[in-house]
Amino acid sequence: MTNTIKWGIIGCGDVTEVKSGPGFSKAENSELVAVMRRNASKAEDYAKRHQVKKWYTEASELINDPEVNAIYIATPPLNHEEYTLEALKAGKPVYVEKPMTMNTGSAIRMAEAEKASDTLLTVAHYRRGLPLFIKIKELLDTGAIGQVRFVNLKMFQPHQSDLITKTDDNWRVNPEVSGGGLFHDLAPHQIDLMLYFFGKAVHYQGFAVNQGGYYKADDLVTGEILFENKIIFNGTWCFTVSPEEKTDLVEIVGSEGKISFAVFNQFYTLSRGGKEERFEIQPPQHIQQPMIQMVVNYFLGQGENPCPASEGIEVMKIMDSFCKEPEKL
């Protein structure tokens, strides 16, 4: 068995510049050896700037490079299934970006391909590896706010949100490429954290509409989840509010207090006994590096899968249930 994971990135776009790309070489027993992007000049430029020795314009060439023994798929969701299946068929483990893919059916096919290939698949719900959310889970597991009763999530952004990485084609709001809109880009992190914190979901439902008309995708989504442990989650995502109404807030209310935090910021507050304390926990420079390290360890047989395909499927099921077409009366 190899003692170094030698990565190839399919889709070395803007999101890989700082968030993930450098982490593949900074993690222990890990090295980034090849990148791929359809635009040759951009692929070559990325490789030179990040000291990566090989670059490709075709995903198949990277997948079949004999030096590459693991694949990171960072393309838009439209291509996740295709490249995952090709890499798994080639016997190479896959770390695939969130959302796992376009819809539940696609996610299930990816999981089935993993089993058939006898190799490995991990979904990049990387907030599981960040110190802030590990701390919040520790507080919940040790009863810092007693028994959890319910969770409220508010995600409000203006039409021109600065949370979203801008691209020339604005693919994140094209349902044919992303599976949905900004909800599909941001909510996978939030919903996955709820599963990470609270376990199995037994029922979920929601509504989604396009109010603003800026693009084809839904821009207002609401949803609720009932967990097996009787905790209830309610969430609202709106991407057409005024700039003054920007909100990124999750409130977990328990029998003895409350934990509040932002998913896309670095703080939490702990309220109990009439007192409120605020804590800030800074993320690593390369925000995916802790998760990458866990994935490397898993691929080397030295740890558990930090986010298996089954968890990615659950996130897709919940998102699909929130965004499904309402039944006609």
- Residue 12: the pLDDT is 95
- Residue 109: the pLDDT is 98
Average pLDDT for residues 252-280, to the nearest whole number? 96
Crossing angle between the packed helical segments 309-323 and 104-117, to the nearest 10 degrees: 170
List the 220-227 sheet strands across, edge first.
201-209, 220-227, 232-238, 148-156, 247-254, 258-261, 267-272, 275-280
CATH code, 131-282: 3.30.360.10
- Residue 46: the pLDDT is 97
Q: How far is CA 89 from CA 63, 115, 298, in A?
A: 10, 11, 19
- Residue 256: the pLDDT is 98
100 close to 80: Cβ distance less than 8 angstroms: yes
* Residue 228 identity (one-letter amino acid): E
Residues of the chain with CATH 3.40.50.720: 5-125+287-306
Which residues are CB-neighbours of 155 under 8 A, at least 6 positions away? 186, 187, 190, 235, 236, 237, 238, 247, 248, 263
**C-alpha triplet 20, 26, 29: angle, nearest 5°:** 115
- Residue 161: the pLDDT is 76
185 close to 179: Cβ distance less than 8 angstroms: no
Average pLDDT for residues 234-256, to the nearest whole number? 97
Measured in whole angstroms, the distance separating CA 295 from the mean position of its chain's CA atoms is 14
Q: Of 85, 105, 102, 103, which Cα lies nearest the Cα of 94?
A: 85
Residues of the chain with CATH 3.30.360.10: 131-282
Q: Which helix H or strand E contains 186, and what residues bound it?
A: helix 182-198
CATH code, 5-125+287-306: 3.40.50.720
Q: Which band of pLDDT confidence, cut at 50, 70 and 90, is reported for residue 329?
A: very low
Q: How far is CA 48 from CA 42, 57, 62, 268, in A?
A: 10, 15, 17, 39
pLDDT digits (tens, 9 = 90+) for 27-74: 999 999 999 999 999 999 999 999 999 999 999 999 999 999 999 999
CA distance 152 to 167: 31
pTM over 0.85: yes
pLDDT digits (tens, 9 = 90+) for 65-123: 999 999 999 999 999 999 999 999 999 999 999 999 999 999 999 999 999 999 999 99
CA distance 215 to 221: 15
191 close to 321: Cβ distance less than 8 angstroms: no
Identify the bridge partners of residue 207 per DSSP, sorted by sequence position.
222
Does the pLDDT value for residue 167 go beyond 80?
no
- Residue 170: the pLDDT is 84
Identify the bridge partners of residue 199 per DSSP, sorted by sequence position.
none
CA distance 231 to 140: 12
The two three-digit tokens of residue 180, written as one number: 């949905």
Q: Which band of pLDDT confidence, cut at 50, 70 and 90, is reported for residue 328?
A: very low
pLDDT digits (tens, 9 = 90+) for 186-197: 999 999 999 999
Q: Which band of pLDDT confidence, cut at 50, 70 and 90, is reported for residue 162?
A: confident
